[in-house]
Structure formats: structure tokens, C-alpha cells
Structure 1
């Protein structure tokens, strides 16, 4: 079914000058920006499309030549550690990490498998400073449920117990285990829509939130004893003397402990919101998810330049909106939160598309942005968003209307908040 004619009505004489469009490559993307950002975010308007994922892979390979060393994708941050271990050291097998290292069943996407395979091949025999890294930046959250905080809490507790001893810890591992109880209490699918089925506001959950806060505080308090005193770049310079490996491993362990702490606090906060019976419940849940994403991205930015890939709605600077449970919810996306903190250290390039025929999305109406870009030659192009906004005039065209719920057309009103726009004419 193709109902694109239900998009913007009327006709438009506006055309996009052909010289605004350039072939898509890393140099073209970076050329749109005043300086190299620490986080270069590439959005997509729909998920699981191999054409878009293959384009992401190609751009990442090129960006590695420009000094980017990490790719962060919209998948479980804890599961993603398995993928990172594999691409760095070959730990496990490709089949295993594709099955267990991705949430939302995205390990089944051939382009994701090719990305992981290429990263492992690239890293083989290279020194750590030249290796590429993988990161998931989403929380351990599925559409149907949220994970138990067990893994994050027990990993953080174990890290601290091994390094600072039992005395400073706020509780024992046995206490955590007793309070957590069976994991299926936390991952109960019915709790997503029935607040009363959630354990997020139980006495045990309240106690766990306090303990998570105390464990994170202890991690910060003990930082001088847990991480090397010298900056990471100095440690890298000591590689030949054999001093860097131990320091690097200490930094890696510290980074993961901080990730465990963020995730434990974020999950317990999310479960608390799942038990909220008020009308604000769904809005709070989506906002908390993007907050977890933003915190993970800010931590990655401190590690060096990274390519970030996720849905446009998670990366845009404007407030995001969607319909859930028959109502519209609005919240600040991860991109908006990160941009507020990093300024020019964050850049967002949105992706728009012309056709997605296997999902009923046909040729775009000519009076939409997608329709105007569809008239340009070439299958893929990148455009300066500000120059495009100028070409469209003071009043942007109405957004395209999608006949399929899984595709979100680009909103022309967002052009002032976009650093670049990638257009893919036809998604096979």
C-alpha cells in the first residue's frame, strides 16, 4: 500500500539547487562542520534497513582514517561489552557475540555482523592506540520489559570489593542478592503496561536505590586509589617501557565500573517509573531511557572521537514526540541533552529517505523535502542543512506523512537544528 499522497497537499515550485548535494563520504560530512566533533551522530529514520546500516559501516571505516576510534550504536550498553571484547581481543566467537552482544535482535542484521567482523579484522595486530572500539549506549531495555539491575549492581559491588575491601562497602553481596530476588520479578512483561505488576516501588527496590547511590558515591570517593594518576595519553607513551598495559587495564576497569554504576542507578530509576500509576508514566519512561543514553554518550565523548548511530528521534536537538498507549508523549532526546552539554563537541547529521517500497512507502510527494530531494540526481547525497533551509525559504514545507508506522519522515522545521542531511533515494 502506498498512501504518500496523504502527505503535504498542494504543489510547490520550490526546487533544491543541485550544487547543494554532494556525494556521501566522511570528508563531506566533516566539511559541513566548523571543527571535528567528539561525537558525530548519524541518525536514521527507520530501523533494520540494510541499505542504511551498510552506509553507516562505510562512513565509519572512512572516519577511522580521520581519527575516530569508536562506534556507538543504539543497543544494550552492558551486552555491548561482549562485542567490544571480541573486536579488541578476539574473546568469544563472532556467532556468540552477534547472538548475545546486541539487544532488540539487532545481532541478526547482516550489516551489523559485517561491522563487527571488519572491526575485529582491523584490530588484529594493531597497538591499542590504533584499535577501534564498539559501544552500546542504550540501557538494558527492550520494548517488552526492562532488565533486572542484578548484573550492573553485582559487577559494581564486585569491582569495589576487590579493590577497597569489605569495610567501606554499604552492604554485602548476599544482601544485594536477597534484595534483588528472582530476576523475572524485574523483567515481567506485564509491568510495561500495568504499573501494579512492577516491583519498582517495593521496599526492596527502594533499599536497592539507596545502596546503588552509595556504591556510586564510594566509586567516586575512592577514585585516586582506583585509577592511574597520569592522563591516558601519557600512559600510552609509556607502552614501550611496559608501564602502559597495567595503567590501561586500570582505566578500562574504571570505565566499566562507572558504566555499571550509571546503569544500576538508571535501571532502578526506570523501574520506579514503571510502577507509577499517574498519567505522566509513559512520558517519564521515554525521557529516562534517553537520559541513560545521554549519560553513556557523554562518557564516550571523554574517551575520544566517536561515531554515534541511532534513530533520528534519539539524536535530534529538538524535543522528540511519539504516540504511546493512545496518547502523544514528548521529551528531550539524548542528542538534545548531549548537545546542551557539549556544544560544538556534538554534531547531528539526520538521514532522510525517498522510497521504502517493501514497507509501502512510495515516491514522496513533490512538495515535501523528501520529494524535492528525490528530484536530484544520484542515489545518495549529503546536504548542508542551513543552505537547504535557505533554499526552501522562510516557511518550510509540511512534513511528509508516512503510510507505515515504522518510518518517521524528516520534519523540515528541524533543519535549523541539524548540521547536515543525508538523503538516500531508494532503500532496497
Structure 2
């Protein structure tokens, strides 16, 4: 039986994503009604700047009083697309207190305070859905929360920021430097005027925290995620990567320890083999590679940002939450029963690609090898080129704890024959 009273939605934020959510809800109202089992309508839209022109958005729905909107007793679902920590956190909490479920695209808030939000949702019998917070339109959060709920996920490896992937792809395919590739990304609208959140890895780190928490059924906060940006990646790094049959990507890597007693979450640039599926992810696309015990290797691929893709994820959550409302139930909440600790970066086992500028004279390679041996790091390959008394030495290690690799590099810097460490990059995806 079709319910006739519409489910009412409060929309917080009406920028690129919010405007697209409004457009789709309006133009596809009949389809949404059929899929949900009841009409769904926007009851109000809270914005900061009411005078701004918003094509296709009814002016009578606009309000600047977001608190009053979420405290209305007739609101069934609140969609939060304003971003940031406050006032988003307070508004979401008030929504729960007033009986509304929440659909959010707020990765920063969920990575920072997801546990408290899940607790509030459970306390008031509400849903908290956030597919749009990670990788845009790519169905990823729900498969991890639901489809793989009976499996054991051991690793999540992904490209979760389109801006950085576009920049690195351009550097790889065209030979452009970082600044030139960033300028192109900005001109095309892929990079913000201030790209810091993207290029320094903050955006990807927030997403890594969310993915690790879901995948490993434990609490992982943004502060737990090791982070390095990609602004120091150079054309020379790409040249070295090509010689190894690799390319370079900014990766979010979430892993369960081999003994199962801890997890790690990190974001940094890394060389990956061209044979790995993530190596072929081009332009501003995202892709996430999941390794599970029973399901094996899975890859999720698609546009990771933009108004339409993100709105698609928001509306998918809206349909699910509305169906739960009609059924008088809620979907899956937080699953953090494992309570696994998050290990520091020093305990992560990885490989290094190290490029050294050294004196071109006998005995240098032996000195370098001695430093590696002293720190318990085994060398996989060495490549040396020299001219006019100067040489470049490229060393690729076997797998070792990151702390041992870092200590090795610091010791190398102190050698009289090492004139500089040109670059350091981890090697992943093998």
C-alpha cells in the first residue's frame, strides 16, 4: 500500500551538491515515490547566504535558521551537505533528538567524531548514512557495511581524491611538473583555489579513517591516520617509477596486521606496478581495491567528486533511510566490536625506493650497503649512474618496518659520501 503523507526532508546546504539534490528530487519525484513507497518532499533548505541565485530552487523553501528547521517536529530526514565540523555536528545531533534520521556527505566530521554521532543515532532510534562521504558516486560504504559484513576484510587500498589523481596522471602522461599540473587542474575546476586539503592528503586521510573503521569494525579517527602530501613528487620520481615498471599514486591504505591484533591507516604517495588495477585509474577518477578473505579481491571504480555523482550517493542513502522509516526500523549502525588498536606508522611493513646523490668513487656502494645492513633492511635492487665525479644511486629495499627504513635514510644522510637524499617513496601494490 502506498502511503499518502509525504516524508519530509530538511536540506542543510545548497551549494553544488545541495542544488543537484534538489533538482533530482524535483525532476524524479514520481520515481522516488515508487521506489520508497511514499512521496518525499523537501520541507526547507537552510543556507548561509539567502540572496544568492540558485537556479531551480524554490525561494519559499530557503531559510537561514538551520536550527529551527531541524527542530521541526515533522521532519523525517535531514540531509547535511554543508561540511565542516560546526555547526554540522550540532545540527545533526539536534536532528536525532527531534526524531529525524540523517544523510551526510561530511567526511571531516565523520572522521573526527563518527563514534559520538553513531551513539546519538542509536540513542534516538535514527539512521546515520554517509555513502557520499567517501568516493562520491562509487558504492563503497554500503558494500563494506552490509555486503561484506559476513566476511573478513584485510586490506583497503585506494585512490580516494580526484584532484591529486588528476595532477599525478598529468605528470605521468605529459611530463609536466607539479605546479604546471596543478594549474591545469585549477583551470578545469578539479582543484580548489586553496588546494591544501587535497594535495597535502587531509581529504584522503579523513576518508581513510572512515573506511578503516568500517572495514575492520573498530574506531579509527583522523588523528590515527598517518599522512603525507604529494607536493614533493617530481618528474624525476616518475622517471624512476617508469624504469621500475611503476607509476605514482596518492594512496589511502588501510590494513589489518598479519597477526590480526591491530590495524593501520595511512595516506601517502607510492609507486605501484603498472600491472596493478589502480595504476590505470586516470584523470580525476577514484578507485578502491578491497581484499577480503572469502570474497577475494574487489575493485570499486568511478567518479569520486562533483555535484551529480555526490548527489547520486546522497539520494541512494535517502531512499534507504526513507524505506527504513516506513518499515519502522533502522539500518546498520556503528560496528566497532573488535576494538583493535591503531598501530603507528613505524610498525607498518613496507618497501622504500630511495634516490641518493653520491660521490662517484670506489667504496661508496659498500658504505651505503653497510648502513642498510646495520638497520636490518635488505636491499632488493641497486641502480647507479655516474659522470664527472658525481653519481646517482637508486636503491629499492625489501619489505621492512617503516621505522627501520626511516632510520636507514637518516643514517645515510650523515655519510660524507652521500651529498643528498634526492627522493624517498614507498612501493606498494605488489
TM-score, normalised relative to structure 2: 0.25
Q: Name whichever structure is richer in strand by fraction.
A: 2
> More relative contact order in 1 or in 2 (CA 8 Å, sep 6+)?
1
Q: Name whichever structure is richer in helix by fraction.
A: 1
